[in-house]
Chains A and B, each alone.
Chain A
């Protein structure tokens, strides 16, 4: 996007202003408080509907509708209109925004909206403006703040949002997986408790089922499957009349539970727990081991992702495939200790949770009977015990994350494993069973057992399928998350590397004279972004640690331009630099000019400055032409700034003279003359009487400029003669006469002897006396400017020797080097 026209009404210190940069660079300069930054604020408002300067820390009481308008003006009177050209859109369009409805951007052509949207999106991130405040964000900020600022500007917050979501997805899937794992442990416990075995083995369970089927006269089944457990088994005829209670099975459960409560059994369990907590403490107190465990999965994933492209899937850098495989394998080997530890933890926690699940399944059976019997106290004791054991099983599902050994001490664990009062309660339930349920026949018992195992096997099959499905989904979520992180790191690294390379390249262009080997590092570190720069080959330091403020300003500009280039290429060409070279010295500012001209020829710059020298340097370096030089001065609360369009200087002086206003015309000529001849002195490298104050007046600068011009012209004539270029000599001779005549008409030579015509007294001249002076200076300006390319003449030197005077298009080209003695004439 380029700015063709900008019209401002009643915004931030400007009453009415129309600028017509026509897509070219613009320099707005003027003293502090002259209203320059209001132009920046207005463009900001036009593109974003807000004014950045009125937002952020310490701006709580500042409101756009109250403080965005020019003082004493209503929001409906504050408006900005612009004509802009947009990439890929055939015609420039007009856009408008009013402070009354800041959220609404009006378009002259609604069809252009989709083309303008990407530009507005970039502007919304503040990408189009660099102010001194922004420089501080990049250079002196803490790494975390810098990361946030740069992520905002690069629009990569979306990546962080997705990462957070993927973490949540993985956590949620892990939770479901853990839940299914626990459910399966319990389902297995219910089967082993029913059968009375220590561990679940298909062959054992199948044999148990077939034994009972045989008792009921059914053939054995070949596979263990809940649907087949009772297939072709005829139920005993009395089965329906009896309660579904198997007293001998219940008795076995109670005997097992009592055995579990024995001191010997609890000691054995606590010994396994002691081994487990030893391993857990090793992992939990050593973050490196936890990291190794995490990295193990990462490297295993990496080795899986290696293909024939010769690129590492973890860092996206080129690698020899076999070397890469070896390198990653080495990392995997280093994580072996962690892996060993993990398998010990898995083994012990599985052993413990298996024993507890078996007990939980038995408690459940006994609890049902206690409820039927109305044994409230016993039921309550058993429930407390069940809840304690359930809590331990929950810890053992993911012990590294959940089992806090300091919280669950051995003493606490002992009391949870063997709750006081449970054993007598079990005795009372046992007594109740003996009295309430008479012994049943073996066939009835077999039928009841098959019924139970059928249900429990069904539950086992269901939870096993769920676990497999959850494991797959959890695995997918982990791979998705890790692949996203790997890709993010790889893309961001490549992005930051390219930004760094461009930053270093730009900075070296400005500081080639003293830091030609300058280097920098920009790299993400956890949530922050580390930024260090080389200090004259003496190591890397934060940018504001060793370098001067001027160097820091240069770094801010270069980093901003490198970032802007990355993000706005082909979308937004307008770059606003708001008073950003405050601390950069004049020599390095020249280099900044060269940088803008050489490295960013396709951008449109709007540069504001309070510094006349910098403004002149920009003009002299042709960053901006005379039409683009706008001076703000004499700001007043009721009128805003007075604006001087340098390109139209002669038109404005003519207008003053038509109104007989010699005073204004003379002031304008003198002020403009000071700027103009300062630029001439700079481009011709003219000596000027040195003043410590740095305030060179019109007379000094004019003397310097005309004196140097004449010396160079004489040198050019001499050189032309020495080479025998008579025609060239004649032309230079004629030019000399013309310049002498014009200079005489300015009366400048008579100023020292006739104070009445001195430029200090121009304001007192009559219009007829001043008119010829204006004409003479208009002609004198033309002496220093090429009529074809409109650029100032400049002196070309090599190794300290003056070689030529020329303009940009070379229509004017004076050779200053005379023929050496003995060389042939041309």
Chain B
């Protein structure tokens, strides 16, 4: 992300997006959780305790057996 793109965002947006970017790729945070957190951020629901706990409780889907 360029500095200009960063500047065009609100400060809370910058904090949320940068924080989620730091979590991406960490073992504790599978893709499904990151997606859910991004969705909550988009909807402005990161102030909901219940929604966040639901998001971080998501279990990653097992890969299908072959």
Contacts and interface: CB of A to CB of B under 8 A. Distances in A.
B19 interface: yes
Given A158-B12, A488-B15, A473 B47 contact: no
A696 to B, nearest CB: 48
B16 A155 contact: no
B20 to A, nearest CB: 8
A313 interface: yes
B43 interface: no
Interface string B34-66: 000100000000111100110011000000000
Given A155-B10, A488-B15, A495-B11, A479 B48 contact: no
A172 B52 CA distance: 11
Nearest to A118: B10
A487 B20 CA distance: 9
Contacts of A488: 15, 19
A490 B48 CA distance: 24
* Interface secondary structure of A, over-half rule: helix
A473 B28 CA distance: 9
Interface in B1-38: 7, 10-12, 14-16, 18-19, 22-23, 26, 28-29, 33, 37
A165 B49 contact: yes
A162 B22 CA distance: 17
A491 B49 contact: no
Contact of A480 (B11, B15, B18, B56): B56
Interface in A155-173: 155-156, 158-159, 161-162, 164-166, 168-169, 172-173
Given A161-B47, A162-B46, A487-B19, A479 B12 contact: no
A582 interface: no
Contacts of B49: 165, 168-169, 172
Majority secondary structure of chain B interface residues (helix, strand, loop or mixed): helix
Contact of B56 (A313, A477, A495): A477
A18 interface: no
Contact of A487 (B7, B18, B29): B18
A90 to B, nearest CB: 21
Interface in A131-173: 154-156, 158-159, 161-162, 164-166, 168-169, 172-173
B11 A483 contact: no
Contacts of B26: 304, 479
B57 to A, nearest CB: 5
Contacts of B18: 487, 490-491
Contacts of B7: 569
Contact of A491 (B15, B28, B29, B37): B15
Nearest to A305: B22
A162 B11 contact: no
B47 A165 contact: yes
Contacts of A173: 53, 56
A313 B22 contact: yes
A495 B7 CA distance: 10
Nearest to A488: B15
Contacts of B15: 159, 162, 484, 487-488, 491-492
Given A165-B47, A169-B52, A172-B49, A483 B12 contact: no
Contacts of A490: 18
Nearest to A474: B56
A294 interface: no
A156 B11 CA distance: 7
A172 to B, nearest CB: 7
Contacts of B33: 476
A159 B12 contact: yes
Nearest to B12: A158
A472 interface: yes
B11 A155 contact: yes
B52 A154 contact: no
Interface in A480-533: 480, 483-484, 486-488, 490-492, 495
A477 to B, nearest CB: 6
Contacts of B10: 155
Contacts of B37: 480
Contacts of A487: 15, 18-19, 22
A473 B22 contact: no
B5 to A, nearest CB: 13
11 contacts: A155-B10, A159-B11, A161-B47, A165-B47, A165-B49, A168-B49, A169-B52, A472-B28, A476-B33, A480-B56, A484-B15
Q: Which 4 A-B pairs give the minimum distances between C-beta atoms? A: A487-B19, A158-B12, A476-B56, A487-B18
Interface of B: 7, 10-12, 14-16, 18-19, 22-23, 26, 28-29, 33, 37, 46-49, 52-53, 56-57
Given A162-B47, A166-B52, A476-B33, 14 more contacts: A162-B15, A162-B16, A172-B53, A305-B22, A469-B57, A477-B53, A480-B19, A480-B52, A483-B19, A487-B19, A487-B22, A488-B15, A491-B14, A492-B15
